[in-house]
Every structure is written in structure tokens, then in C-alpha cells.
Amino acid sequence: MPMNGQMNQVTVGGYLAQRLEEIGIRDYFAIPGDFNLSLLDELLKNPRLKMINCCNELNAGYAADGYCREKGVAALVLTFGVGGLSAVNAVAGAFAEDLPVIVVSGGPNVRSLVENRVLHHTLALPEDADKFVLAIYKEITAHAVVIREVSTAAFRIDEAIRIALSARKPVYIEIACNLAGALISRPNPLSLTATLKSDPNSLKKALEHVTAFLNGARQPVLVAGGRLRTGDAREAFETLAAACAYGVACMPNAKSFFPETNPQFMGIYWGSASSPGCREVVESSDAYLFAGPIFSDYTTVGFSALIQPARLVEASPERILVEGQAYHGIVLSEFLAGLATQLNANSTSLDAYLRIKEAAHVAPSVTTKDLSLSTRRLFHHINESLDGATTIVAETGDSWFNGMDLHLPDGCKFEIQMQYGSIGWSVGAFLGLAAANPQRRVIGLIGDGSFQMTAQEVSTILRYNCSGVIFLMNNGAYTIEVMIHDGPYNTLQNWNYAAMVESLKGQSSILSRVVRTEKGLVAALKKSRAFKGLTFIEVILDRTDCNKVLLGWGTAVADYNGGKGNATS
């Protein structure tokens, strides 16, 4: 081939690397395997991309989930079969949480498939060797494709990335191992991020209908939902709130999506688990606009939240629903921005909240009492340590409920996997969040049961010198399951967690402490502030020392799971 022709070509792996770089990815999470080694070689040739090698595929998927929350997109590179299937749970979670994770897998050699060979990492069925992984990924991604032809590789890569970014969902790209180094046309300029625009007629009608509905209400209220992230509409929501002057609440999976220092903020709306005074105002209002909500059993406390369809405006990325009328083809951020110019200012709901809210108990900022440490006092000190450069990652369980009680300073972020709720998620997510933005300090709130699922990824956190603080709540049980339905299966084999993570450090450094008293916690936090690496604080707690809200929440979810709950919201 002529030299000038080669200069205009790159390998399939090099093409993929450049496209990942163009959409803002700087790090990708990988597990090597014989089907993806050539592909990893090609990716490593791009000096602007960094490979982060994880301990297993599940944790790598959780890390990609965390990275995506901070950067807006992430990449996960696996081997065929055993690697892809090990990551399925994490990728399904990313799908549920609307996170565009680009899953890239090495695949079998094209020749082996043509010759109908029995291959390792397959089900030993030669006629189906290439089908079972793709079939599974089609169920948990917005798009799944296998690349076995050089001529279509560039188009298929671009198409998959475009779908991931527009659908805000994971995609799966499998590249035959013998094609990773094959030459194709170099990437030419292409906008992979679709510019969405509303249908003007549908937007106009929706704005007219919702404006009339809300302006006609006596006590309207705004509630932020987790899918504001999906619709890239958090800024538009803040603009709307400022214009209409309503009281504003956040659903639990949208905590930190609206500034908690804003005087309009009423707290977390979570049915019976809501912040004091917040539920009463929201549910008594004659009109409520939920922006980006997910009304699941978890977010509605077993579908016990008293939201009346006749009073509801549901604004989501897919539709605007009001008084039984659905409007489609509308960009959520455009709808919220348009509404901000048309609503009358009405502070009635905020005034009602200010009248009834309970005064928060202000605990002393420092105590040195040598008493057993309670969860309540632990989270008081965690709250004192937060600033605008902090990202909190709260594991499924009691950390959800204690995390909801934190009062976040401006700029502080809060991440939770409430829709999917896979325990163990937070260890990998901590890694991904820390890698995505080293300027932010990540604080992990993790229960011992969850930690035992994915503990080995602390090794990767240390390997790549990620900083932050992990609080390990050691109470010897799966506390959230205890409160939903207790049994002997909820009791854990206790580990010496602080000593275990110390053994993972390799050449890195870690500050590892066990605390049993408030005095010990204060001393550990003081040392942590001067330490630049990872701090691991194992907190010894009583088995039943949980947030009081978890007690009622667990009962409601258990009743619904047992067929006692109301099936409607």
C-alpha cells in the first residue's frame, strides 16, 4: 500500500481510542484476557488515554458507572464471554441509572467462527459460539454490535457511540481479536453528540397547558428527580425554581441536584422517609411538578407516597404529562427553561414549609467523650468535614438514610444508586469518581456487608493513588436487609477490615484506623486532613444502630414485597 495511504489510516483499535478521546474520556477501566490483548495494545498507543486495571470485571463496571456520573461518559474494556458476563450486573445498573457506559469487548477470531470451532470462554456449542454474549447484552444496552468486517468497523463504532450519548444508556461493541490491528480510514471530523431540539408545536402546547395548570393552583411545589441528570436539565431546573419562587424538594436519588443552601430548599421528599415538614407540604399541595422523577418502590417507600395523578405534572426526558394529557418530542431542559418565563411567582408552599418545619437539633461541634460511637454522632462529624470540593458516594443500605440527613454545602455532590440498588457498587464507584476528577475529594459511606462484595477494588484505588476517605460501618450484618426481613442469612463473618486494606497497599500509602469512640473518630479525622492518600476508617457500631427512618422504610418495603402494600402510587 502506498505510504500516503497508510498515513491516512489507523488501526481499528486506534480509531476507537481516538473517538473515546474526542467524547471526553481520559481513562478507561480494563481487565485483560486473551481475546482483548491486541485491542488493549492498540488503545495503549494513544498517550492521552489512561488504562486503569481493575481486579475484576464487576468492579470495573462499577468504576465506569462512577466515572460516568462525573464525566458524562465512560468506557469499559473486557474480554469475550467470561469477562463480558462478569460485568453484566454493573452494566445493567448503568442502564437503570441512565449512564452511557461504552462496553468494549474483544471477540473470537473470525476464522474460528467460520470454521465452526469449539472455543474457550463459550458454552461449547460451536454453532452458537458468537451469539450468547451478544444476546444478553442486547437486553441491558441501548445498542449491541459485533464487528467482524474491517469495511464497516468505523461506521459501527461511530454509530454505537452516538447511540450511547443520545440515549444516555450503555452500548456494547465487540471487536474480533484479529481485527483490532487491521487498518481502516482515520477518524474524520464528526459530531457524535446529537443536538436535541423540541418539536415546536408540542412544546408550545405543553407549556400552555402546564402554565395554566400551575398558575391556577393555590400552593404549587417543585420536586427534583434523578432523571434531571439524564435530560441534562439541572441548570434549567434551578432557573425555573428562581423564577417561580415555589418551595423546592428533591427526591432521594436527586440529592445535591438543587443547592441545599438555597432558601427555597425544603429537604428530601421520600414519602414517609421525607425530611421533617417536607412530606406534609408536598403531599398537601394542590399542584406539584416533578422534574425527572422515577416513581419506584424504593423512591415511594413501597408505593406509599400520597401523590395524586390529578395534581401531578410529570416532566421527564420522554414526555410531559399533565391532567391525563401526554406531550412528546420535547427536550426537558427546553421545557423547564420555557416554563420559567411563563409561571407566576408563588411562594405559598415555601411559606407553609417555613411555618411547620421542625428546628434541627444542633449538636456540639466537638466532643471528646470516651463513649461508644453512635451512627448519629458519626454523621455529624462527617457533615462537619464536607466542602464544595467533596463528592459523597453512599452505598445501598443505612448509608442512604444517614446520607439524606447530611446538609450539603454549595458544590458538594452526592451519588447514590437508588434505582438499581446493587450492594457493593460504591467501592468501584469510588474509584471511578476519584479517577474522573482528582481535584475532588471522594467520601465513601459503605456498610460492611456491601464492602465484602467488592473489597478487593481498594487495591486499585491505592494502585492509582486515588485520595479520599472510606468510612466502613462495621455492625456485623446486612443492616438494610435486617430492617426489611431479618434472618440468619443477614449475619456476616466479621473481618479485621482496617488490617485487610492495609495489606492491599503494595507500594502505596494508606491511613487505616479502627474507631470505637467519638474521641477516636475525631483523632482519625484530624490525621486524615493532613494525609494526601486514601484514608480508611473502620467504625465499630452496634448491629441495630441504624437511622430511625430505615425502620419505617424497611417495614413498608417488606409489606409491599409480601403482597400487603398498595400497588399504586
pLDDT digits (tens, 9 = 90+) for 131-183: 889 999 999 999 999 999 999 999 999 999 999 999 999 999 999 999 999 99
**CA separation for the pair 170, 464 (Å, rounded):** 25
Closest CA to 172 of 130, 143, 132: 143
Q: Report whether pLDDT(470) > 60.
A: yes
pLDDT score of 125: 73
DSSP 216-261: T-SSEEEEE-GGGTTTT-HHHHHHHHHHH--EEEE-GGGTTSS-TT
- Average the pLDDT over 92-118 and give the result: 86
**CA separation for the pair 428, 61 (Å, rounded):** 8
**CA separation for the pair 313, 290 (Å, rounded):** 6
Radius of gyration over every alpha carbon of the chain, rounded to an integer in angstroms: 25
Least confidently predicted of 90-99, 203-212, 249-258, 484-493: 484-493
Q: Report whether pLDDT(99) > 80.
A: yes
Which domains can be identified in the chain, with CATH numbers? 3-185 (3.40.50.970), 200-356 (3.40.50.1220), 375-556 (3.40.50.970)
Q: Report whether pLDDT(310) > 90.
A: yes
Sign of CA dihedral 256, 258, 263, 269: negative
- Average the pLDDT over 96-117 and give the result: 85
**CA separation for the pair 417, 250 (Å, rounded):** 15
Residue 354 grid coordinates: 417555613
pLDDT score of 364: 47
Helix (H, G, I), strand (E, B) or coil at 519: helix
% of the chain residues with pLDDT over 70 = 87
pLDDT score of 2: 45
**CA separation for the pair 64, 51 (Å, rounded):** 12
pLDDT score of 131: 83
Which tops the pLDDT comparison, 354 or 478?
Answer: 354
pLDDT score of 209: 98
pLDDT score of 360: 41
Quote the mean pLDDT of the chain.
Answer: 90
pLDDT digits (tens, 9 = 90+) for 509-545: 999 999 999 999 999 999 999 999 999 999 998 766 5
pLDDT score of 370: 61
- In the block, cell 502505596 appears at 508
pLDDT score of 398: 86
Q: Report whether pLDDT(106) > 60.
A: yes
Q: Report whether pLDDT(478) > 90.
A: no
pLDDT score of 37: 96
- Average the pLDDT over 107-127 and give the result: 71
Q: Report whether pLDDT(439) > 50.
A: yes
Distances (CA, A) of 558 to 416, 449, 478, 550, 551: 21, 19, 15, 12, 11
Closest CA to 414 of 68, 27, 70: 70
Least confidently predicted of 94-103, 350-359, 487-496: 487-496
- The burial of 181, by beta-carbon neighbours within 10 Å (0-12 exposed, 13-18 middle, 19 or more buried), is given as middle
Q: Report whether pLDDT(363) > 50.
A: no
Least confidently predicted of 168-172, 195-199, 240-244: 195-199
% of the chain residues with pLDDT over 90 = 77
**CA separation for the pair 69, 93 (Å, rounded):** 13
Least confidently predicted of 58-72, 311-325, 354-368: 354-368
**CA separation for the pair 554, 235 (Å, rounded):** 34
pLDDT score of 514: 96
Confidence of residue 123 (pLDDT cuts 50, 70, 90): confident
Helix (H, G, I), strand (E, B) or coil at 75: strand
pLDDT score of 362: 41
Q: Report whether pLDDT(275) > 70.
A: yes
